[in-house]
Chain A
Amino acid sequence: MVREYCHAVELHHEMFQGVEGQIMPPTLIHLDKLRLYRHACPLGTGPTARIHYEYDAEILGAVFVGDHLSVKGLIRERYTKKGREYVVLEMELSRVKTGELLIRYTDRVILAFRGASEKAA
């Protein structure tokens, strides 16, 4: 998984592309966000496209390939600004074995870009 993701974004560093002692790039938490969306909204978050607006990850410890991890998310805020609806999701990624919090992530999206464009026009 790590090699596949890193290859897609040209992170060709050995710590990601090797076979031993691999570290997960913190940015991979973005895919956990998508997983949470699919779980919460199995029919999609549409009908119009989302636009990712902000990524904010605090890295508290290295995540190693082979770690058993848990991820939880909380919709912290939903608001409208300049005709656009924003959603703020806060996530925590922890190592199951120790309970250690490894990444704290805040994600901000514009929920319905198309509708916002029409409202703003």
Chain B
Amino acid sequence: MSGPNLEPGTEFRSRPRPMTRERMRWYVDAQPTVAADNGRIQTQEPTIHDDDDYAKSQGLPGIIADGMVSTNWIMGLLIDVFGEDVARRGRLKTKYIAPIYENQVIIASAKVISVTQDAANNRTVSLEVWCEDDSQKKVTVGEAVVVRSAA
């Protein structure tokens, strides 16, 4: 089976992306927009992800990104590396250990921990996953399992 290097210790990294105000707002707007499903952008009441005054009223210094953005960026990296199998079978677990503030540069990362193969030649890849900023501070941590089908 061809594909990425699955030696334990192999790391994959996304390109650095700043968590801009717009990126934060896209996820906020996506929630009512997907729910409405009428082809038009919908908005919602102010949140800690798109309104600085509201974020400060909640004890934050300013808006912070929804953790799901970093989870999706990690999943996107896994799909870039492993393809559709990521969305068909496996596991993704992420914990948001530090807030992501406006314009913080974020890199999604994954490291192969182990690979096992079953009798049908399906390979199960266990990975450590995380997002870090450009000072290598981890903001999201977790683990993933990708089942690569032999077919």
Contacts known (A49-B58, A114-B59); A26 close to B30, Cβ less than 8 A: no
**Least Cβ–Cβ distance between A119 and chain B, in angstroms:** 11
In whole angstroms, how far apart are the Cα atoms of A25 and B37 in the complex? 17
Residues of A in contact (CB 8 Å), total 38
A80 at the interface (CB under 8 A from B): no
Chain B 27-47 residues near chain A, CB threshold 8 A: 27, 29-31, 33-35, 37, 47
Q: Which of B33, B48, B54, B73 contacts A9 (CB 8 A)?
A: B73
Residues of B within 8 A of A114 (CB): 57-59
Stretch of B5-13, B89-97, B110-118, B119-127 lying at the A interface: B89-97
In the complex the two chains form, is A5's CB within 8 Å of B30's CB?
A: yes
Size band of the interface chain B makes with A: 35 or more
In the complex the two chains form, is A57's CB within 8 Å of B92's CB?
A: yes
Contacts known (A5-B34, A113-B58); A13 close to B68, Cβ less than 8 A: no
In whole angstroms, how far apart are the Cα atoms of A39 and B30 in the complex? 19
In the complex the two chains form, is A49's CB within 8 Å of B91's CB?
A: no
In whole angstroms, how far apart are the Cα atoms of A13 and B87 in the complex? 11
In the complex the two chains form, is B87's CB within 8 Å of A15's CB?
A: yes
Identify the B interface with A (CB < 8 A): 17, 23, 26-27, 29-31, 33-35, 37, 47-48, 54, 57-60, 66-69, 71-73, 75-76, 79, 84, 87-96, 142
Q: 20 A-B residue contacts at CB 8 Å?
A: A1-B37, A4-B33, A4-B34, A8-B26, A9-B68, A9-B72, A9-B73, A9-B76, A11-B76, A13-B79, A23-B87, A24-B87, A27-B71, A49-B58, A52-B96, A54-B95, A55-B68, A62-B88, A113-B59, A114-B59
